[in-house]
Amino acid sequence: MSRLTARGIGKTYGGKQVLQGIDLELESGKIYGLLGRNGAGKTTLLSVLTAQNPATAGSVTFDGEPVWENPRALEHLCFARDLGQMSGSVSGLTVREYLRIAAAYCPRWDAGMAARLIREFGLELKKPFARLSRGMVSMVSIVTALASGAEFTILDEPVAGLDVVARERFYTLILDEFARSGRTFVISTHIIEESENLFEEVIILDQGRILLKENTQALLERCFHVSGREDEVARATAGLRVFHEERVGRSLGVTVLLSAGILLLAASFGLLDSALLVRWQGRIQWIVVLGTAAVAMLAGFALCWFVYLPCLDGRLSVSMTGLQILAAAGAGVLYLASGILAWTTVRNAEVRF
How far is residue 101's CA from residue 353's CA, in Å, rounded to a whole number? 42
Give the pLDDT of residue 90: 80
Taking Cα atoms as reference points, which of 107, 99, 187 lies closest to residue 150? 107
**Quick check: 236 and 278 in contact, CB under 8 A?**
yes
In the chain, % helix, strand, coil (3-state, to 5) comes to 50, 25, 25
Give the pLDDT of residue 270: 43
How far is residue 73's CA from residue 268's CA, in Å, rounded to a whole number? 47
pLDDT in tens, the chain (353 residues): 899 999 999 999 988 999 999 999 999 999 999 998 888 899 999 999 999 999 999 999 999 999 999 999 999 999 998 887 665 678 789 999 999 999 999 999 999 999 999 999 999 999 998 899 999 999 999 999 999 999 999 999 999 889 999 999 999 999 999 999 999 999 998 777 777 789 999 999 988 999 889 988 888 777 777 888 888 888 877 777 777 788 888 888 888 877 655 444 444 444 444 444 444 455 545 555 566 666 666 766 666 656 555 555 555 554 555 655 566 666 666 666 655 655 554 444 333 32
Please calculate the CA angle 64-68-72 and round it to the nearest 5 degrees: 60
User: What is the torsional sign of CA 324, 325, 328, 330?
Assistant: negative
Give the pLDDT of residue 196: 74
Residue 77: partners with Cβ closer than 8 Å, 6 or more residues away? 4, 49, 50, 51, 62, 67, 150, 151, 152, 154
- Bridge partners of 224, per DSSP, are 256
Give the pLDDT of residue 314: 55
Taking Cα atoms as reference points, which of 167, 161, 225, 223 lies closest to residue 195? 167
Residue 251: CB atoms within 10 A of its CB come to 13
How far is residue 333's CA from residue 142's CA, in Å, rounded to a whole number? 54
How far is residue 282's CA from residue 280's CA, in Å, rounded to a whole number? 6
How far is residue 2's CA from residue 78's CA, in Å, rounded to a whole number? 15
Give the pLDDT of residue 105: 92
pTM: 0.72
Give the pLDDT of residue 235: 81
235-241 long-range CB contacts below 8 Å, 24 or more apart? 235/279, 236/275, 236/278, 236/279, 237/278, 239/282, 239/350, 240/278, 240/281, 240/350, 241/350, 241/351, 241/353
Residue 94: partners with Cβ closer than 8 Å, 6 or more residues away? 125, 126, 127, 128, 129
Q: Does residue 33 come out as left (phi exceeding 0), alpha (psi in the -120 to 50 range) or beta?
A: beta
How far is residue 201's CA from residue 186's CA, in Å, rounded to a whole number? 10
CATH topology of domain 3-207: Rossmann fold (3.40.50)
Taking Cα atoms as reference points, which of 85, 86, 76 lies closest to residue 49? 76
Give the pLDDT of residue 44: 95
Q: What is the DSSP string of 42-94?
A: HHHHHHHHTTSS--SEEEEEETTEE-TT-HHHHTTEEEE--GGGGHHHHTTSB
**Quick check: 186 and 34 in contact, CB under 8 A?**
yes
Give the pLDDT of residue 292: 61
Give the pLDDT of residue 251: 87
Give the pLDDT of residue 271: 42
Residue 211: partners with Cβ closer than 8 Å, 6 or more residues away? 204, 205, 351, 353
How far is residue 168's CA from residue 160's CA, in Å, rounded to a whole number? 13
Give the pLDDT of residue 155: 96
Give the pLDDT of residue 346: 42
